[in-house]
Structure 1
Amino acid sequence: MTRPKKSRTVAPERQRLKTLLAGESRAIKLASYMTAFSALLWLPQAAFVAGVFARLLTGQGGVTVLTGVIAFLGFAALRLMLNYLAEGLLFRAGQNIVTQTRQEILAREANSLGTSPLGGPGALAALAGEKLDALLPYITRYAPAQTRVMTVPFAILALAFWQSWAVGLVFVIAGPLIPLFMALVGYAAKEASERQMQEIGSLGDLLVDRLAALSDIRLLGAAPRLIARFEQAADDLRDRTMSVLRIAFLSSTVLELFAALGVAMVAVWVGFSLLGELSWGAYGGGITPWGGIFLLLLAPDYFQPLRDLSAAWHDKAAALAVAGELDAWQAHEAETLWGTGDKVAPLAGPAHIRTSGLSVTRGSRVIAYPDAEIPPGARVALSGPSGAGKTTLLRLLAGLERPSRGTVEVAGQALSDDTADAWRARLGWMPQAPMFLGRSLRHNIAFGAPLSAELISDAALKQVLAALPKGDLIVLGETGGGLSGGEARRVMLARALAARPDVVLADEPTADLDHETADRVTEALLALADRGATLIVATHDARLIARMDQVIEIAPETAPEGGRAHV
């Protein structure tokens, strides 16, 4: 009866790290072998150095000493060249891996909906920024150190036994203690690095949230509490970082102790053997001056690869922590936008919109919309209480969100990945929370083209521009720094007017505006409709609703399943 073989499972973070390095594995292996070969070149160098000093001790010299010096310098130049080439290969491989992974994160998150399993935008920014850089030390230091550990100590151990079984025995006893202790420390290092990475992500989320609400925080006088919260978060991160450093220093200290004891024992044995005080530990007639000096030169380099690996051990722990986060992010199947976001030609055909059996799920709540048909040039208001789903319907019509059920038909075609980009090329979008590019106001409205007097008048921008120190050349932040809520909404209107879209989707276009400005915004939107554009607005403004041709009343039920919206 045969026993079934147990399947060997690999930790997710290790598998993810292996996958990350797969594209550059050949370059990393080649560079690691080059560093190992460079380290092995010390063996003939040590032999030449031992020969030179042995001849000087015995009173010999001449051409042989000069030859040994020249050979030593030649091997040194070769080692320098190999290390230079290997470091270049490793650095380029690390940069390629980090850059490709960063691009993958940005490309996926730019087209995804919902939240990341890692947290908010701050955690994602920390992952794509400083956390990915933690892979570089692992690639440039740990990977080659691991290759050297697997080659150099065994070669030196063989040469040590060739000259002295006593020195070989010292190496055999002292050597395995180092990786054993490193393995024990590794578990604690991995956990500490994971906690540190999580703390960095949490601090990033906290910073993003507070920066977004900075103006409100100042108005409410909550700055002292905010500063105290940041101090606490910074102290927590410092404690996590110090715990990682303590583990790294502990492993290095123990390693240095074992290495120092091993080298000291070899030095003591060689010294007393050459003085004739010890007659054991070597073969035949004892150790020769050349053999003794050769062993002394090899002893530090027997432990050097282990010391390098120990120094880079926390680099591996940090890389595994990053790989674990990447694996969690990769495993999360985020809902994505329709289309790719590429610039394409507008979708052909009349801008006719039809919805059928449309519904979306919000946790345990289902918002079901009525079937609707919106002909080209129609003026439609979406009305209902706050939270009813008006903004969500606008997003569904724009292809910015996928319905749980049902279809949206635009210009005679179903809205899908194939048609979404071309459909959005015909849309004008006025969000309730305006967002801007980090460019000039002129660029945000007309992509750098001068603003016409007609556009400024229609969007009621004259007073806004007059109040800005540089007019339409002022540089805005992503949230429209320097603009009030009403001013930002007027800029969004100007952007829609400048693009002359076939369909305008406006979310609360008159909110936060005085009656005079709201009337001007309403007239500008209606002027777009008069030119043939379809106007769909989500609003609570009764005066704006009264100017519309069609009103869709959205009043979803709160039942977990089958809630309906009504016209």
Structure 2
Amino acid sequence: MSLMAPGAAMQRRASRLSVLAAVLWPLQAALVAYALGGLLAGVPIPAVPVALAYVALGAVRSFLTVLGDAQSQAAAETVIHAARGHIVLEEARRAADGPFGGAGGVAALASEKLDLLAPFITRYAPARARVMVIPAVILALAFWHSWAVGLVLVISGPLIPVFMALVGMAAKEASQRQLVEIGDLNDLLIERLSALADIRLLGASKVVRDRFATQAKDVQRRTMAVLRVAFLSSTVLELFAAIGVAMVAVYVGFSLLGAIEFGAWGGLTPQSGIFLLLLAPEFYQPLRDLSAAWHDKAAADAVLEEYSTWEAQETTCLLGRGGASLPMRGGAEISLRGCVLPNGDTLHNIEVSAGESVALMGPSGAGKTSALRLMAGLMSPDTGQVRVAGQGLSADTADSWRARVGWMPQSPHFLNASLRENVRMGREGDVSEALKQAAVDEVVARLPHGLHTRLGETGGGLSGGEARRLTLARAIFGAPDVILADEPTADLDAVTAHAVTEGLLAQVARGATLVVATHDPTLAARMDRVIEVGEAR
């Protein structure tokens, strides 16, 4: 996706409106020069019509400026909203963190870093459009009245872009370093928050706090470096713009006093002198606006580069769109044939019949979890075929297949919502039976607010085993045709493990297909079949 494409049309309209508003100033300057020149020469002028014309042009300029600003703001909001939505959608489909960085870095890109595009779109883009038109128009008008003034503008004007380019290279580098530090700081914060309990138990709070303070100071230093470059670019521009305007003022003043008799076509009149004095600052104004927004461009370039790096990273994406879908038709059988995992390991062929209960066993790292993820469409094999309900599992069929699947992951994860909603996940029905079969109903009854207890992402208030049983309740809620459970009895005592096993077998008894990855021989012995999973030779 082209990052700027969604707001390109509005951005072009904003630039045109900005240029049109700026072009009206020479007309206003001509009216002012005509009025003041007539007063100095003692020539009567129609004051009321001139004043009304000046006010009318000013009103049109203001109207065009407001329209242009509205278009720029709309373009910025559209671009940022589209980019943010694209990041969220793609990250939701990606199976794991990619080479770009962790969740903190991606969150920083999607939130605060994308916001840096707004000044670029609203300030830099219109200023760049004005620079391409307004100086050329004013230069032509200046040469029309005085070749000396035109020469001053020609000599002083190009110096500003040269220094802007030199400063801009430093600004971009400083902005890139700042953005990298922000991403690293967000990653560090998320890692430390997730391990906060362990840090306190180990007495490492001071070390972690000092490390975080050091990195925060690095971000502060990078930010000040960007600001120093921005102030430097503005200072350089103001210097050359002031020198240019001063030279024009000196020439016009001495010409009107008669001390200089060259540089104008047939002599410089008061009207022409005043007109040139009014035009000179506006010749530099687009360049000044562009310079003031130059650090915005540097920051935007750094964001665009980081966004391109994120978009170009190669990661495993989940099949399907993750939306609601009608259940796939056909028997609930599963087949893995010749599947090669992304890490290069090859799984033995696995065949599971409809209504069968199967245990996948093997040493850690043998591929049990990967096999379950292949069956659920949560990852794709590099080569090989996954067939479910008699069809190939692909991006087109994954959503309808998952509508029939109950999934219990190895690592519990919850929404920041009530316990009831964490089991239902938007589905209708009573959760009590699912909680009972997962042997977690008594745990829920002991919670202060019962089913209304709000859980954090890691299931605050629940032990590891209780959180795992709650994910099992989520998996069996709604009586799915297929249940895929990863280590359902891990971290459980014998009594609770037996209750969970009975709950799973109750699902098989009603006709569900059950596949569990486990190290528990007692659970495996209750299954219809045990498949030893390992790297195929």
TM-score over 0.5 for the pair: yes
User: What's the offset of the Cα at 1:515?
Assistant: 2.3
CA distance in 2, matches of 1:92, 1:395: 42
User: What's the offset of the Cα at 1:450?
Assistant: 6.7
In the alignment, what sits opposite 1:4? none
CA distance in 2, matches of 1:26, 1:430: 47
Q: Which moved more, 1:218-227 or 1:531-540?
A: 218-227
Helix, strand or coil for the counterpart of 1:115?
coil
In the alignment, what sits opposite 2:184? 202
CA distance in 2, matches of 1:75, 1:354: 75
Cα 1:538–1:270 shift into 2, 3 Å: same
CA-to-aligned-CA distance 1:386-407 (integer Å, 9 cap, x gap): 2222111111111111123322
User: What's the offset of the Cα at 1:58?
Assistant: 3.8
In the alignment, what sits opposite 2:17? 34
Q: Is the 8 A contact 2:429 2:478 kept in 1?
A: no
CA distance in 2, matches of 1:66, 1:119: 66
Q: How does 1:114-125 map to 2 (within 5 A)?
A: 114-125=96-107
User: What's the offset of the Cα at 1:21?
Assistant: 3.1
User: What's the offset of the Cα at 1:140?
Assistant: 1.3
In the alignment, what sits opposite 1:487? 466
Q: Is the 8 A contact 2:339 2:384 kept in 1?
A: yes
User: What's the offset of the Cα at 1:60?
Assistant: 4.8
In the alignment, what sits opposite 1:409? 387
CA distance in 1, matches of 2:403, 2:5: 39
CA distance in 1, matches of 2:400, 2:216: 47
Helix, strand or coil for the counterpart of 1:367?
coil
Q: How does 1:80-159 map to 2 (within 5 A)?
A: 80-159=62-141
Tell me, yes or no, if structure 1 residue 46 matches structure 2 residue 29: yes
Q: Is the 8 A contact 2:245 2:280 kept in 1?
A: yes
Cα 1:169–1:473 shift into 2, 3 Å: same
In the alignment, what sits opposite 2:51? 69
Tell me, yes or no, if structure 1 residue 442 matches structure 2 residue 420: yes
CA distance in 2, matches of 1:502, 1:140: 53
CA distance in 2, matches of 1:85, 1:295: 29
Cα 1:52–1:467 shift into 2, 3 Å: farther
CA distance in 2, matches of 1:453, 1:138: 54
In the alignment, what sits opposite 1:340? 321
Cα 1:141–1:536 shift into 2, 3 Å: same
CA distance in 2, matches of 1:276, 1:430: 92
Q: Is the 8 A contact 2:423 2:431 kept in 1?
A: no
CA-to-aligned-CA distance 1:156-178 (integer Å, 9 cap, x gap): 11222222222222111111110
Tell me, yes or no, if structure 1 residue 525 matches structure 2 residue 507: no
Helix, strand or coil for the counterpart of 1:291?
helix
CA distance in 2, matches of 1:103, 1:94: 14
CA distance in 1, matches of 2:50, 2:508: 92
Q: Which moved more, 1:38-47 or 1:49-58?
A: 49-58
Helix, strand or coil for the counterpart of 1:368?
coil
Cα 1:361–1:456 shift into 2, 3 Å: closer
Q: Is the 8 A contact 2:348 2:534 kept in 1?
A: no
User: What's the offset of the Cα at 1:59?
Assistant: 4.4
Cα 1:280–1:509 shift into 2, 3 Å: same
User: What's the offset of the Cα at 1:260?
Assistant: 0.8
Q: Is the 8 A contact 1:442 1:450 kept in 2?
A: no
Cα 1:452–1:234 shift into 2, 3 Å: closer
In the alignment, what sits opposite 2:477? 498
For structure 2, the 5+ residue unaligned runs are: none
User: What's the offset of the Cα at 1:36?
Assistant: 1.2
CA distance in 2, matches of 1:446, 1:283: 85
In the alignment, what sits opposite 2:256? 274
User: What's the offset of the Cα at 1:308?
Assistant: 0.4
> Which amino acid is the alignment partner of residue 500 of structure 1?
A
Helix, strand or coil for the counterpart of 1:388?
coil
Cα 1:245–1:81 shift into 2, 3 Å: same
Among candidates 519, 526, 533, match of residue 547 of structure 1: 526
- Aligned-residue sequence identity (percent) comes to 56
CA distance in 1, matches of 2:29, 2:398: 69
Among candidates 408, 424, 445, match of residue 402 of structure 2: 424
For structure 1, the 5+ residue unaligned runs are: 1-15, 557-562
CA distance in 2, matches of 1:495, 1:473: 15
CA distance in 1, matches of 2:117, 2:263: 45
CA distance in 2, matches of 1:412, 1:26: 48
Cα 1:96–1:493 shift into 2, 3 Å: same
> Which amino acid is the alignment partner of residue 521 of structure 2?
A
- TM-score normalised by L of structure 1: 0.89
Among candidates 270, 286, 298, match of residue 289 of structure 1: 270
Q: Is the 8 A contact 1:442 1:451 kept in 2?
A: no
CA distance in 2, matches of 1:541, 1:346: 32
